[in-house]
Structure 1
Amino acid sequence: MGRIAKDGRVPSANLTASPVGLPVRDVLEASSLTGARVLAGDTGLDRVVQRLNVMEVPDILPWVKPHELLLTTGYPLRHYPSSLVDLVRDLDERGLAALAVKPHRYLDGLPADVLAEADRRGFPIIEVTAEIGFDDILNDVLSALLHRQASVLARSDEVHRALVGVVLEGGDLSDLAAELTRIFGGPVVVTTPDGRVIAGADALPDLQSTGCFDPTGRFRVDEEPTGVRPHSGGFHTTVPVVAGRIDHGRIVAFSASPLDAADVYSLERAATVAALAVTKQLAIDAVEGKYRADFLRDLLTGRVEDVPTAVAHARTLGWDVERPLVAVVAELDPAHETGTVPELRPVQERFATAWQSVVRWRDARAPVVNFNQEVVVLLGLPGPHASADMIERAVNDLVRQVVGDGGGGRRSFSLGISRPALTAQELPRAYEQARKAVRIGRRLHGDGARASFDRLGVHRLLSLIPDTSELRGFVEEVLGELAADTPENADLRRTLAVLLETNCTVAEAARRLHFHYNTLRYRITKLEKLVGPFTDDAALRLDLALALRVLEIRGL
């Protein structure tokens, strides 16, 4: 059975994109820096300047901040020119943008090893002409920074107003994605937390070559942290859609060149509007989903007396249940993780949404509802004479798309498949078969099991016996004292099961159980005292095998 990655934590809204500021190359265009030249580190001219600082003391490190342009005359270092290499290294590691120096007055020049270190790190060192005062530089650059930040805010506000207008006019996520595509000039998609595209899917065929999507069309959330990242042929920017601590998904914008800080900030504002649209849609879906689930539950549990009227009502909901169908029941496996942060948005809700999204593309008329602990799908048969293999292949294809290839926010689940139901009257029977299949499959194979009712073998026959007391009586009659629920009995029952599976071949059973030959002989003697001479009685072996199967699937 397919297994699903663990649910992820709510993503941080902090981005790795360039912060709001000016690149060093743009700072150099300030009038007060006319005549300044880059001595070293010219590969770092795209570093962003957000603030300025003046170095007045040798131990400046406690007072510097990331994205600073540090100005100095060299006076604090006049007695320690050899420490400049360490200074360049420390400033770079603290995320400073550049170092601007006025040499020749207190420093004869910058040593070659200092310039080599700056080149190696891509840390710009700028020589400022002696006649320019630091106050002029501070005034010019700070004015440019304020103008830049004001422009960013203005553009972000414009984008925000446009998107809020879309929502107020009744637009959904698809309308938001279309508006963002218009604003940014490149494809924009909105995804669920595990990467399933829920808006902007029309652009997917053109985006598959970027390598950002798996073969099922799911955005690779695990491999794509928020921020600006390159891909084959361009760049994409990812921002989380978060309301409070609830992760609603991602907005991903694609472009030929990296979006600048203003665009990224606008996308963050757009994510807030998207969270509003998602929350609104969730409220609508919750009401509609409960109504649909209640109706289908009544139909599948046999509480509908007038089936033709129910079939007609199903058509008004967009469902066709008057055709050959197969019931599929999917249940999330119990979470075994400890110490993780619980998610506020129910995982079951996401699980149901995933199935609805996948099934919609294959069979738009198929009902898909969330019954709290299980997702139920009534899937149209792949053909009028579909075999069990054809049905399993169709379901496996759906499972592959639900699972994807390693997105986040998902858990393993078990699944059961019914026999075909040729009429609506047979749907209650099909639903019960699928429920039995998922329950028996999990008992036999553990979490992540997938079972078809037609392939359960003897377990199918045992599951059809409704009288639990009769089954319990059979188990106690056949196993006797061995039926008691104790650790020692459980160990002996395991030994008995392996002996029956190997047709009482002692050497093979000992190998499977990792027992010494004589140890297994002793256990056989003990077992025959409890249940009878099963090594010589074929009928008794059959009874014992059936009793063990009953315990296995019914847990009696």
Structure 2
Amino acid sequence: MHLTVEQALAVYPLSEGELIAGDSGKQRIVKSINVMDAPDIADWIKEGEMLFTTAYLIKDDLEEASELIRKLHYRGASGLGIKLGRFWESIPERLTSLADELGFPLIALPFQFTFSDQMNGLFHAEMKRSTDQLEGALQKQIRLMRFALRAESISSLFESVTDAIGCPIAVVGAKGQVVFSSPGIPADWLTDQWPWPPLKTRLKHLGRQAFRIPLMNRDACTGFAFFFDSLPFLSPVEEGLYTQAAEIISHHLNYSYEDYFELSVQKDFGSLIKKFLKNGVTAEAVLEYAERWEMEWLETGYYCALVDLPPAAAVLRTERLDDLKASMLSNARMQALKGIHVVMDEGVLCVVPIATAGTEGELLREALESCLAGLGLDERRAPKAAICARKKQLKEMADAFAECRNTFRLAREWGVEERIVRYDTLDLAMIFEPVSREKMRIYCQRWLGGLLSKDPGYALEMLKTLETYLDCDGQLNDTAKKLFIHRNTATYRIEKLSELLDVDFKKVNVLVRLKIAFLFRSLLAAETGEGERGA
């Protein structure tokens, strides 16, 4: 039997009883049931046993009853059920206080049912649970085997395993980089206390629990798979299922992906693009190679992203850029983009087709976020990325590369702290660079003065709302999501801002002018700290 006390109390006829004390211990595991028929029963109790009694042997001595509860607690018993109505009408307060202090479940059993009724109910419930568990495991195993026997594309490996297992998963590579994680699982949770020994481990930390399994390639550990569940314990059947899933993941990572990473097309084409950007080969030569390998997207649309290391990581720069490229190639979301990755002097250049990057480059941004967050580096050492405007032809790639470099420069000069910055958001900065700082201050006061004169705390919150609203192109739903507030709250704030600033947000020219005001504030903040972002 493997039920929690809470689950057991939901089983008829024990459900007719009541948990009187020790509520904090209701997640204890009930492995078996015993009946008290001897004064020294506590000396024979086993871990996980729940004890039933009529209180006959302890009814006249509360000190002995208290000592019984202490012994049961220290021996790991799951709880004590006392049948009321025969020797005790209620459980003494002294015992309930002690049970609450120890977190030891104390249950008032219903008088109308015998102990055998209670035990039969629990055993039948456990049998049904075990049968359902085996049937569920069999179905999951069938899905896993179907997946293992068919050729799967690189991008769908982890999604297929997640669907088959029926729980969130994550994979961490041999260097501690997050290769894949289901939505909502923080990278710092996954890489906590890295490195780890290559052992199967049950983890419980910060409200999450998972089963971690090493991924082995012969005798070498090449990473770890995490399987997240809400089960209070892991049965041998479920552990075997997770182990089988980990072996399938390991096989694909160590063989299918290894072949993918080493494709000569990726290497040769990357080298060709690098030479093209340095004027070493013609556009015709690149297009001829692209056509040979069915990469027509270079003439239908693409995005470029440049990922670079911070100045603090300048030592051994070439080796670090190679490691960065390898981490990007091993990230599942980056793989799904089917792009080309090239190590340049300025960083790692990624060229990704619009078909996979998204019309507005949103999928590329999400993949970069996932990859950079998965590196688990602190802010001082973490790489940053710049994304160019959308391009349609190969001949525009030099412009795209220049846009990425200019985006990094402007981000530094304007004090932009985001990990990923788009050229589209900073191209106005190039136009306004010659504007004097005094004129910028006057402009900011003209458009934001009605808000800046308010209480600093209120002004800070409203400025953040307005800036987010502008970043979302005036879309209230997107603004509310980014600020984690209700749409009605966002609507109220925008209406209030319209009143304070005496502007009409329905007019495009108003949005543009306010956007310029925030650009000026960013530049002033970067130089003097007088107009900090969002403050």
Per the shorter chain, which TM-score range?
0.3 to 0.5
Larger Rg: 1 or 2?
1
Between the two structures, name the one with larger relative contact order (CA 8 Å, sep ≥ 6): 1
